Amino acid sequence: MPDKPIISILGGTGAQGSALALRWVNAGYPVVIGSRNGRKAGQACEHISGQIKSASISHDDNVGAAAKGQIVVLCVPYASQRSTVESVRAALGGKILVDATVPLVPPKVARVQLPEGGSAVAAIQAMLGDSVKVVSAFQNVAAHVLGDLSSAVDCDVLVCGNDVAARETVIKLAADIGVRAIHAGPISNSAAAEALTSILISINSRYKVSGAGMRITGLDLTRK
Ligand SMILES: NC(=O)c1ccc[n+]([C@@H]2O[C@H](COP(=O)([O-])OP(=O)(O)OC[C@H]3O[C@@H](n4cnc5c(N)ncnc54)[C@H](OP(=O)(O)O)[C@@H]3O)[C@@H](O)[C@H]2O)c1
């Protein structure tokens, strides 16, 4: 894989996907926005290229984007997670699928309501089988925090996946956009990151803030 792989973001027109796209384009990654709506995707690209000179950004439908991406990132609401992955499944073989899905169940999004089996992202790994390396990440960082290039991202994200090398790749992708990402074990552990989002939403509400995040302490990341 060349120095900077093509990152395709399914749901890249949304809050989390477009913020990640902005950060990765700013870090010099070629990004493809995947969307069901070409006009909306074009606007998302213009929004990014308007902020970043020499941006490498384009768009396609989700199937086309998944085919073009060397790494595919999923940023759609939980209710459409499975159907979106089903629709692009043929393009995912051999790739890393980074899944930011949180199984929120409106209207009680500040209450942990994990699906049967525990983790929404682990369910996608089970559905796809081992030929796709599913990595769970970015559940615990708010879109508006990622979307503000003028501020550092003051929180950690947990990275879960069964393939350690795939987790390492995603940790580097996060580091390149200024996000400290931490190995957090196999894909089943994603349940904890997914649950934590509802807790952060609850903290936001209780303390009247909008971007509560969390830090893992006690680490010396110079030693592995
Ligand atoms: N927002 C945050 O701060 C945040 C933080 C951490 C994790 N997350 C998680 O990241 C994921 C995306 O969150 P978001 O806030 O970015 O969501 P969003 O803005 O509501 O939606 C993201 C995109 O998903 C696509 N989409 C919406 N409904 C769809 C459907 N029925 N079928 C297929 N695609 C559909 C849309 O893209 P097109 O219309 O262009 O196809 C939309 O722009 C969620 O699972 C969320 O829990 C969000």
Can you spell out the DSSP letters for 34-73?
E-S-HHHHHHHHHHHHTTSTT--EEEE-HHHHHHH-SEEE
Q: How confident is the model at residue 224 (pLDDT cuts 50, 70, 90)?
A: low
Among protein residues, the one with the nearest Cα to ligand 1's atom 44 is 77
- Which two tokens mark 31? 């990004």
Among protein residues, the one with the nearest Cα to ligand 1's atom 15 is 15
Closest ligand 1 atom to the C-alpha of 18? 16
Predicted confidence at residue 54, as pLDDT, reads 85
Closest ligand 1 atom to the C-alpha of 140? 6
DSSP annotation of 109 reads T
Predicted confidence at residue 132, as pLDDT, reads 98
Give the H/E segment covering residue 84.
Answer: helix 81-88
Closest ligand 1 atom to the C-alpha of 17? 16
What is the mean pLDDT of the segment spanning 186-209? 98
Q: pLDDT by residue (tens digit) across 33-81? A: 999 999 999 999 999 999 998 889 999 999 999 999 999 999 999 999 9
Ligand 1 centre distance from Cα of residue 178 (Å): 22
